[in-house]
Amino acid sequence: MKILIFNTLYYPNQIGGAEKSVQLLAEGLLKDGKEPIVVTTSDKDCINYINGVKVYYIKTINLYWVYNAKKEKKYKKPIWHLIDSYNPFNKKINDVIEVENPDVVHTNNLAGFSVSVWKLAKDKDIKIVHTLRDYYLLCPKSTMFNEKLNKNCEKQCLACKLYSMPRKKYSKYVDVVVGVSKFILNKHLRYGYFKNVNKSVIYNSVEVPTNFKKKNMDKKEIIFGYVGTLSKSKGIEFLLENFKNLDLKNTKLFIYGKGLTKEYENYLKQKYQDKDLIFKGFKKPQDIYKNIDILIVPSLWNEPFGRIVPEANSYGIPVLASDTGGLSELVENGKNGYLFDLDKENDFEEKLRLTIEMYKKKQFEFNTNLFSLDTIINEYINLYSC
């Protein structure tokens, strides 16, 4: 079975969890004896092999490459998004589909390609599976988060409605739509996408660590960890402000990750100077999880999934997470951590103390099989085949 997998970015051009999830999927399919071929955007046209997987890097025709979007001037972005709503300059994509002649076209994040991929595949009578990993179909920024107000968008604004009209229209061409959480799938369905389309929820897979040994740490001291981009939408200021004001003895907070900008990172370091708040910079997962006891995920944004939760659990780390987006499906209170309500006064402190109690008693359970690569691969193969 040949599967043509589309995703905006692919190794080595990675920004977030989606790229990692798609790479795990492609390599898992290859290991299972299938023939996955990846198509991704780039600043130049070339073909390469990554861990045995054939990858087409395509320079799509638009004002700039999506990977460099943050560096571009603001006036270009509305025009870029207008073209990307339904990019007519898709000959390269059509050529790849014709050359490879796949059994299935599996689309993921489509920024840079546009939903024209669906029309091209449908015209060739190729089965289309689409996985929702972000809010691209609903919002040009792919986030549905208002950075000025620092909160999630309750509904589509007029601009989002206009930009997304072609995306909604062409969603009818998809044969199966998959949400990486019930939350993101239901959100699209509420806006009228994917009518009369088969639907499924398949979580992202995580790599299970091997030969992992946690450091022998002073059990009198509990180390909390924050892992990810330092940005308001990820809740870093909420966390630092609340943690700093809590009366907690023998605790520290290690902050792993880089700022959305260097200026913002420096601002945080200056504002939250405290001996118990320690900025660690970017580290590899094994170097992070051997040094922390409890992970905190304070995201204000409605995360489509939140792979950091099952990743931490796979290392034996319980998680305290905000009850937002897909995160609410990944943490079960009293089992693998606790969820807290961002809008409920003192709920963060209350759930944090419960998580500490859970950690001290070692009373946690992790269902890592739910996110194993074998489980996820089998679920996708069943969708491709039916």
Query: For residue range 241-264, what is the model confidence (pLDDT) as tens digits?
Result: 999 888 888 899 999 999 888 999
Q: Which of 145-154, 301-310, 321-330 has the lowest mean pLDDT?
A: 145-154
Q: Please give the average per-residue pLDDT across 328-345, as a whole number.
A: 96
1.10.3720.10, 1.10.10.410, 3.40.50.300, 3.40.50.2000: CATH of 2-206+372-385: 3.40.50.2000
Name the pLDDT band for 386 (thresholds 50, 70, 90). Answer: confident
Sign of CA dihedral 22, 10, 6, 65: positive
**Strand boundaries in the chain, DSSP class E:** 2-7, 35-41, 46-50, 53-58, 104-107, 127-132, 145-146, 151-152, 176-179, 198-201, 222-227, 251-256, 277-281, 294-297, 319-322, 337-340
Which tokens is 144 given? 């549905």
Name the pLDDT band for 32 (thresholds 50, 70, 90). Answer: very high
Q: Please give the average per-residue pLDDT across 341-367, as a whole number.
A: 92
Name the pLDDT band for 109 (thresholds 50, 70, 90). Answer: very high
Write down the pLDDT at residue 90: 81
User: Does CATH number 3.40.190.10 belong to domain 222-361?
Assistant: no
- Equal CATH topology for 2-206+372-385 and 222-361: yes
Q: Please give the average per-residue pLDDT across 293-311, as a whole number.
A: 96
Which residues are bridge partners to 106 per DSSP?
5, 129
Q: Please give the average per-residue pLDDT across 147-164, as a whole number.
A: 89
Could you say which DSSP state residue 88 is in?
S
Name the pLDDT band for 118 (thresholds 50, 70, 90). Answer: very high
Judge whether residue 21 has pLDDT over 90: yes
Write down the pLDDT at residue 218: 52
Share of the chain above pLDDT 90, in %: 73
Judge whether residue 322 has pLDDT over 60: yes
Write down the pLDDT at residue 269: 94
Q: What are the pLDDT digits (tens) for 190-224?
A: 999 999 999 999 999 988 777 676 666 556 789 99
Name the pLDDT band for 76 (thresholds 50, 70, 90). Answer: confident
Mean per-residue pLDDT of the chain: 91
Write down the pLDDT at residue 265: 94
**Alpha-carbon distance 134 to 257, whole Å?**
21
Write down the pLDDT at residue 216: 60
Domain boundaries, the chain: 2-206+372-385, 222-361
Model pTM score: 0.92
Phi, psi of 334 (to 5 degrees): 85, -5
**Alpha-carbon distance 8 to 65, whole Å?**
10
Name the pLDDT band for 314 (thresholds 50, 70, 90). Answer: very high
Which tokens is 81 given? 């998004």
Could you say which DSSP state residue 180 is in?
S
